Amino acid sequence: MRIAAAQIACVPGDVSGNLRKLRDFAQRAHAAGAEWVVFPEMSDTGYTMKAIRESASSWDRGAVPELRSTARELSLGIVCGVSEREGECIFNSQVVIDRGGEIVARYRKTHLFKVTPIQEHTVCSAGAELTAIDAGDLRFGLTICYDLRFPELYRALAIDAGANVFVISSAWPFPRLEHLRTLATARAIENQSYVVLSNRVGTDGQAPFCGSSCVVDPYGAVIAAASADREELVIADLSAATIHAVRSAMPVFEHRRTDVYRTSPRQD
């Protein structure tokens, strides 16, 4: 499978302008022979709480119908970080749209960023479900940005949901650039899975985003990578055979000691 990760800048609150950019990068991915393209976190509204509060929409209008049309026209699968309004709740979500333009999965960000000045939880509600979906002979596990700091989520996606490609939409800032690189590589190595990371560049009025979108293979090798500060499209080919080879050579899943992990700490 050939997959693309789009590294873009967005304008807070300019949903129509952001959608034009998403379409442009989808066209580039299609021209490069990609079967799927992944976009960053909150690509429709931009990542400020004010813009999200004012511009978040239900999926029967706003960004998602346009993304469905683009997917259908290009015969291209799309994974995109978007806002999702449902009743009184707003979710920081990923939508998965197949090449026929159908919504085939959604993921609502599990770990909200509650650190000043973002305070995501003041606007968004947290999701509470793992989301994984078959994509040919691979299986995507969906996560968003801050989720990357929680290895338990990725282990659950790999073990319980059978994911072997972690697809991450992100708006990660420059002050923690090295954390992004290290954590993305760690999640790939410890789960012997691909990581496909699409991160923002530019700024939404706060710390600039650090780009560095990448694809990491199940051995932990970075097989495609973008700059830290420019809009780019990275392309990589994923292989189920590579996953099988890495897992066969070092069968860490078989060596897990769940009898120990699930034992409560001794109380002295």
* pLDDT tens by residue, 141-195: 999 999 999 999 999 999 999 999 999 999 999 999 999 999 999 999 999 999 9
Pick the closest to residue 94 from 143, 59, 132 (CA basis): 143
- Give the total number of structural domains in the chain: 1
d(CA 122, CA 116): 11
CA distance from start to end of the chain: 53
Cα radius of gyration (the chain):
18
Distance separating alpha carbons of residues 4 and 77, to the nearest angstrom: 10
Please give the biggest Cα pair distance in the chain. 64
Burial 29-56 (b: 16+ CB within 10 A, else e): bbeeebbbbbbbbbbbbbbbbebbeebb
The answer to whether residue 172 sits within a structural domain is yes
28-79 confidence digits (pLDDT tens) = 999 999 999 999 999 999 999 999 999 999 999 999 999 999 999 999 999 9
Would you say 179 and 146 are in contact if contact means Cβ atoms under 8 Å apart?
no
Is there a domain that residue 86 lies in? yes
Quote the strand ranges of 45-126, DSSP E.
Answer: 77-86, 89-97, 103-108
Position 268 in a domain: no
* Tokens at 165, concatenated: 């490609």
**What pLDDT score does 56 carry?**
97
Q: What is the pLDDT of residues 230-248, one digit of tens each?
A: 999 999 999 999 999 999 9
* Domain presence at residue 112: yes
Structural domain containing residue 15: 2-261
Strand 222-225 vs strand 36-38: parallel, antiparallel, or unpaired?
Answer: unpaired
Tell me, what's the pLDDT at 205?
81
Write the CA distances from 146 to 16, 19, 26, 109, 151, integer angstroms: 26, 24, 25, 9, 11
Nearest by Cα to 25 from 163, 213, 208, 216: 213
CATH number, domain with residue 196: 3.60.110.10
Environment class of 241 (CB within 10 Å of its CB; exposed 0-12, middle 13-18, buried 19+): exposed
Q: What are phi and psi of 93, to 5 degrees?
A: -125, 165
Q: Would you say residue 121 has pLDDT above 80?
A: yes
Residue 140 falls inside a structural domain: yes
48 lies in a domain?
Answer: yes
For the chain, the average pLDDT equals: 96
Specify if 30 maps to a domain. yes
Considering the domain boundaries, does residue 236 fall inside one? yes
Is the pLDDT score of 26 beyond 80?
yes
User: What is the pLDDT confidence band of residue 265, given thresholds at 50, 70 and 90?
Assistant: low
Query: Are the C-beta atoms of 162 and 132 separated by less than 8 Å?
Result: yes
The residues annotated with a catalytic role in the active site are 41, 109, 145
